[in-house]
Each structure stands twice: as C-alpha cells, then as structure tokens.
Amino acid sequence: MTFIHDEFLLNNEPARRLYHEYAAGEPILDYHNHLPPVEIAGNRQFANLGEMWLEGDHYKWRAMRANGEQEEVITGNASAKDKFLAWARTVPHTLCNPLYHWTHLELSRHFGIDTLLNEETAEEIWEETTAKLAQPELSVHGILKQFDVRALCTTDDPTESLDQHEAIAALGIRTKVYPTFRPDKAWSVDEPKLFNMWADKLAAAADGDTGTLSGFLAALEKRVDDFHALGSRLSDHSFPYCFDNFPSATEANRIFDKARLGRAATGEEQRKFGAHVMEHLGRLYAQKDWAMQMHIGPQRNNNTRLFQTIGPDIGCDSIGAWPQAAPLAKFLDRLEQDDLLPKTILYNNNLNDNFVFATMIGNFQGGTPGKLQFGSGWWHADQQEGMEWQMKALANTGLLSRFIGMLTDSRSFLSFPRHEYFRRTLCNLIGEWMAGGKLPDDYDLIGDMVKRICYQNAREYLKLVVEE
Ligand SMILES: [Zn+2]
C-alpha cells in the first residue's frame, strides 16, 4: 500500500464515511494566505519543484538547517536543483514532522507520484515533476481549477497598488481572488525612518495628506474603501500581544507628530499609538461588516546573525510567552463597549493559550453565528495534533459547529492539499467521538456539521462573492 492512500489519517469507520461522503467533495475557500497576486494575474508556470518548494517556505528552510545543510542551499545562491537535492536529503529526517506528510501529499495530489522522496529517488522525481510542470494543469490557474478553489484571499500592504487584483478580476477565472488589508507598519513610530517612508507611500496610494494624524487615519480609511470596492472583506494583523493602553487624542497626536519629525517613539508610546490605530481600524471594520484577523503571539527574528544577513521571515521565529488574556480582553472590550467590535478571527501561536483564546471568544459573541472565531491551528501549531488541540478546546468551551475551518497561510501554490489534510484530521477526530458513542450515530446531523466546517461556514461568515 502507498503511504498516501485513500484512508490516510482516517483511523475509524465513521471517519472514513464522514471524509469520503461529506468532506472530500466540498470546494475550497482559502481565506488567508500569502500567495503573490502577480503570479495569479500572470498565470505563472513554474519551471521546477526547486522554485515551487524552496523559494519562500521557511518551514522547509528551518528543517534543512536542523538537518545541518549549509545556508547556500537553503536561502543562498545555489541553483534550484541543488536546493531541491538538499531538500530531498532532508526529507527522510522529517519523519514524524508534518513536512513529511505535506511533501508526500503534494507529490501525490499534484503529480500522481507515490514514491517516497529521498536522496536516491530525487533525480527521478525531479525529472518527472519538471516534465509535468510544463503542462497547463500545473499552471497557477490549472491548480486553482483542479482543487476547486472558489475564493482565496491574499495578504496586502495598503500602500501597495491593487493593480494585480484588478487584473485578476478582469481575467474572469472561476476562483475569486481578494486582497486582505494588512497595515503592519501603521504603528511603527518607534522606527521613524521606516514609518515616514510608509506614511508617505500611504499618502500617494490614498491620494491624501498624511502630514497629520487625522489625515493619516483618513488615508487608511480611503484604502479600506479601495479594498472594499474590489470585494475584500477581511483585514489581518499580527503582534506579540494585543495593544491595550489607549492614549488620549492629544497624546496620540503628539506621538504621531514626533515620529513625523523623525524622532523615535519609546516602546510605551509605540504600543499606545498601535492601540489608537487599531481601535480606529476596528470600528471601521465593524461598520463595513469586515472580519478582523489577529495573529497573536510569535517571538520573531530571534537569530540576529541571520536577520542581519538574510532578513525577516526566514525561519527564525518561535513561540512567544507573553500573558495574552488581559490585553486581549481589554482590546476587544474597548470596541464592544461602543458596540463596534467587528467579526474577529483570533489565531493563537502558543498552544498553552488555547483555552484562553477558546474561552475569550465566548465573552463577545452575538448577532452573527460564530462572530468571534478561534482560528485553526497556526504556524507552530499547524500540524495534526495542533489542529486537534485547537478543535478540542473550541468544542469543549464553544461551538465547533460554527467554526470556519481551514486556511493554508501559505506562500506556495502547492499547499492546497493542506485542506485535505485538515479535513482528514477533522473527520478522524469527530469519527472517533462517533465511534465512542460521544456523538449520535446520525450521519445527516454530523455530516452536515463536517460539510459546514469544510466550506459553508466560511462562505456565509465572510460574505465574499463566490461563484456557486
Ligand atoms: Zn499569514
């Protein structure tokens, strides 16, 4: 039997029935990822697996470093083939890590290859995948069609042009592609050079004046409108922990003016300014019925040597250990007090905080089914057990039935099989509860919940325009 077979990860009878009869056929709505819009607009055809797998995947880079590979074949100037060969040497050492599952799922689902990847099979797999990648089925549009991706949401800085998104919309492909508003640098007042460059770019993008705080906030609002006009209904933010120290308007103005004059805000001022901007944005999202995503908890750029030579987001981030409950509650409550808390999806990086997040969302529910969401297992928790722990925490303290399910958060067009991975995991977990008598033996009831978690919940919650 091949490693990736029909019943992969499905270890009980109800799981197999739930997966094949209810989950497998649902379309995909990948509401958070980092796919480059330019590659969708241009229908990129990749030359080889080296490009596809290793251009931007810091999960793989991390594993290769742990396996002793040199930086040259990880993020350096080595050829795509040499990088692929280094990855092939690493794969057998990723046994028990989700990378081993993902790698073989991707080989199977995209290329029909069931051979296990290692140093000996690398050449043959390289040849076969390179030949197949030249076919239209493996172009970006071919992949989106094969996986029945009805919509996907990229991650976009509001100072960047939305031209590529306009170009994609004009293509008329079935997959709807929407930008997500991610204004990370809007509170970088502790780095005035960066902040001023960003604020100037924002002024140009919004055709506004960001010389004052009110002009700056108006420019952000203008960009939210621009994103909205293209069908976007989501924002995304990431921080170690929520901003919860809200300044007066006078103080916010003073911090802004100081940074605009090129003087760095202190750490405390920066967090206060972040609180001011996020509060403003949160209210705006509520008025527009957007969903606000918050990715909370990682401790980034821990390796100074690699940060200085290669940069950020290269696989030197780990789980942070900050207290999350109090700042998160204070931030959400600030918006809730004025009844301007938007739909919110909270992604947790530290598994120790799963029950904090799962119970926190329960404090602010109402109006929309699952208005506050505890997002699927994220980053260091994006593996089978991490997904199970997230779903168990949610099931035990909230409504799993209202969960909007999986997203890839990926930079690679080969990652859509991760929806299958999630669905198998979901069905295996729920099937185990059915087999153990914890859930009724009612496939209409349970199967309907499975289907909704796979697709329909996200479809209804996000209110994106999607072709049926
Ligand atoms: Zn992301």
> What angle do the packed helices 267-288 and 249-260 form, to 10 degrees?
110
Residues 55-73: tens digit of each pLDDT: 889 999 999 999 999 999 9
Q: How far is the centre of ligand 1, averaged over its atoms, from the C-alpha of 32 (Å)?
A: 6
Amino acid 468: pLDDT = 84
409 Cα to the center of ligand 1, angstroms: 5
Q: Which of 413, 421, 404, 423 is nearest to 462 (CA)?
A: 404
H or E element at residue 64: helix 58-66
**Could you tell me what percent of the chain has a pLDDT over 70?**
100
Average pLDDT, the chain: 97
CA–CA dist 269, 283 (Å, integer): 21
- Distance in Å, CA 17 to ligand 1 centroid: 32
Separation in Å, CA 168 to CA 34, 37, 162, 270, 319 = 16, 8, 10, 37, 36
Residues 6 or more apart whose Cβ sits within 8 Å of residue 412: 35, 52, 53, 56, 57
From the CA of 34, how far away is ligand 1's center (Å)?
A: 6
Q: Which two tokens stand for residue 351?
A: 């598994």
Ligand 1 centre to CA of 272 (Å) is 24
Q: How far is the CA of 156 from the centre of ligand 1 (A)?
A: 11
Q: In the beta sheet, which residues pair with residue 366?
A: 368
pLDDT on residue 21: 98
Distance from C-alpha of 394 to C-alpha of 53, rounded to nearest angstrom: 32
182: CA distance to ligand 1 center in Å? 10
**Environment class of 84 (CB within 10 Å of its CB; exposed 0-12, middle 13-18, buried 19+):** buried
Distance from the alpha carbon of residue 402 to the mean position of ligand 1, in angstroms: 22
CA of 459 to the centre of ligand 1 (A): 19
Strands (E), 77-157: 149-153
Q: How far is CA 170 from the centre of its chain?
A: 25
Nearest partner of 152 among 337, 392, 408, judged by Cα = 408
245-300 pLDDT tens trace = 999 999 999 999 999 999 999 999 999 999 999 999 999 999 999 999 999 999 99
Helices (H), 290-416: 304-309, 325-337, 354-360, 384-397
Which uninterrupted H or E stretch holds 374? strand 372-374
pLDDT tier, 461 (very low <50, low <70, confident <90, very high otherwise): very high
In the reported structure, the alpha carbon of residue 405 is separated from the centroid of ligand 1 by a whole-number distance in angstroms of: 15
Q: How far is the CA of 440 from the centre of ligand 1 (A)?
A: 36
Confidence of residue 334 (pLDDT cuts 50, 70, 90): very high
Q: How far is the CA of 123 from the centre of ligand 1 (A)?
A: 33
Cα(183) to centroid of ligand 1, in Å? 13
Q: What is the pLDDT of residue 317?
A: 96
CA 16 → CA 24, 28, 388, 451, distances in Å? 10, 20, 17, 14
The CA 14 to ligand 1 mean position distance, Å, reads 33
Instruction: Give the model's pLDDT for residue 77.
Output: 96
The pLDDT tens digits of the residues spanning 212-233 come to 999 999 999 999 999 999 999 9
Ligand 1 center–CA 311 separation, angstroms: 17
- 168-204 pLDDT, tens digit each: 999 999 999 999 999 999 999 999 999 999 999 999 9
Q: For residue 443, how far is its CA from the centre of ligand 1 (angstroms)? A: 34
The alpha carbon of 261 and the centre of ligand 1 are apart by a number of angstroms equal to 32
pLDDT band at 430 (very low <50, low <70, confident <90, very high): very high
CA distance 200 to 208: 9
Residues surrounding ion ligand 1 at CB below 5 Å: 409
Mean pLDDT of the region 404-420: 96
Environment class of 384 (CB within 10 Å of its CB; exposed 0-12, middle 13-18, buried 19+): middle
Using one digit for the tens of pLDDT, what is the confidence trace for 114-159? 999 999 999 999 999 999 999 999 999 999 999 999 999 999 999 9
Edge-first strand listing for the sheet containing 343-348: 234-239, 291-296, 343-348, 372-374
351-403 pLDDT, tens digit per residue, is: 999 999 999 999 999 999 999 999 999 999 999 999 999 999 999 999 999 99
Do 179 and 162 touch, CB atoms closer than 8 A? yes
* pTM attached to this predicted model: 0.97
What confidence score (pLDDT) does residue 279 get? 98
